Chains A and B, each alone.
Chain A
């Protein structure tokens, strides 16, 4: 019951702030709405027993990604304050509505074979999944490489000629 209440609260706030990201006139306000949306998402993760993910979400998304975005907004003064739509806004709106409809229909039409009782899990199961035997740890190394490549790439792009 409490899960359902939490879900509805977070879901409503999430949708509202997501709409805010897209429709706010000021880009800075959009970014703030994004932070709100990301926090709501963390709340939803908690309702799904994914506490670790919720924390990671806050630390990585809110702490790092959103801050970088704010930084980018500050570094492009004047021009980025206006959040204007392009010329195709109405066709796009229609297209996205149809797309959302298609998504919803396919989700509802699929006969999900739900487990009788939702399994409970905690952070330690995730840890085993990541680092235990047959875990994902080799992929972690590759993810590290990706980050390294990102750093090098960003420096290369921004260093100029």
Chain B
């Protein structure tokens, strides 16, 4: 059963990764990143159920990931809003100040 969960997690991660790498819209990229975080959470929780005798460390990790994800998405959306304000767009391909 562990294998099933892990493969699901891998698929979910890849979908999220694809979204993060291929979409122009900043908000969609953020949502894709949330998918990737969730994939990692799923793997952690299934490890904590099937692999560890002291069962809940994985779950505790997931709680902290939730906290960090909340912080991350808030800051990232603030940045997206700021970019929107200054560039009138949230298309990340247009935000290339770091270009050579």
A and B touch in the complex (CB under 8 A): yes
Chain A contact residues, CB within 8 Å of chain B: 3-4, 7, 11, 14-15, 18-19, 21-22, 27, 30-31, 34, 37-38, 41, 44-45, 48-50, 52-53, 56-57, 60-61, 64-65, 68-69, 72-73, 75-76, 79-80, 82-89, 92-93, 95-97, 99-100, 103-104, 107-108, 112-115, 118-119, 121, 125-126, 128-130, 136, 139, 143, 146-147, 149-150, 153-154, 157-158, 160
Indicate whether A115 sits within 8 Å of B51 (C-beta atoms), given known contacts A108-B3, A129-B56, A147-B67. yes
Tell me what chain A mostly uses at the interface: helix, strand, loop, or mixed.
helix
Chain B residues with Cβ below 8 Å from A50 are 45, 48-49, 59, 62
Q: Pick the contact of A86: B24, B62, B85 (CB < 8 A).
A: B24
Chain B residues with Cβ below 8 Å from A104 are 7, 10-11
Q: What number of A-B contacts does a CB cutoff of 8 Å give?
A: 227
Alpha-carbon distance between A53 and B46 when the two chains are bound, in angstroms: 12
User: Chain A nearest CB: distance from B39 CB in Å?
Assistant: 9
Chain B contact residues, CB within 8 Å of chain A: 1-8, 10-19, 21-25, 27-28, 30-32, 34-35, 38, 41-42, 45-46, 48-53, 55-57, 59-60, 62-64, 66-71, 73-75, 77-82, 84-85, 88-91, 93
Besides the contacts A27-B25, A103-B14, what 10 more A-B pairs have beta carbons closer than 8 Å?
A18-B16, A22-B16, A22-B19, A50-B48, A56-B63, A61-B34, A68-B74, A84-B25, A119-B55, A126-B59
